Structure 1
């Protein structure tokens, strides 16, 4: 459990109803970007679908972590289309 002091919560420019969900999303993207967690774990922490997470990675200019298998599948798909 993470505890954030009240004075910091008040300084964050987000409506109180969105604060927890937005902080979870930001933390999830941070962990994923740093390679500290997988996409599946990060998207569950963020509370969003796989496709929303992938779209958000692009919006945030965060590179997707590909396994060699995923990269090969995408390359084969691109060659076929």
Structure 2
């Protein structure tokens, strides 16, 4: 199945990432990226009391969503 940037699959993956960081990447078959994003963002949000990690996590979370939305698999 060939997905193009902006395809329905990428939109679904981006929406999944909004709710669970890394889930969209997992749906796209990118296991390493999914694990990396989930761990980094979860740890950042877990230390929300320190403010800076939470801001860092929010920025990485946004990058995670955009990455899933713009993904174009190698042919």
Determine which structure has greater relative contact order: mean sequence separation of CA pairs < 8 Å that are 6+ residues apart, divided by chain length: 2
TM over 0.5: no
Provide the TM-score with structure 1 as the length reference.
0.30
Structure number with greater Rg is: 1
> What's the TM-score, normalizing by structure 2?
0.32
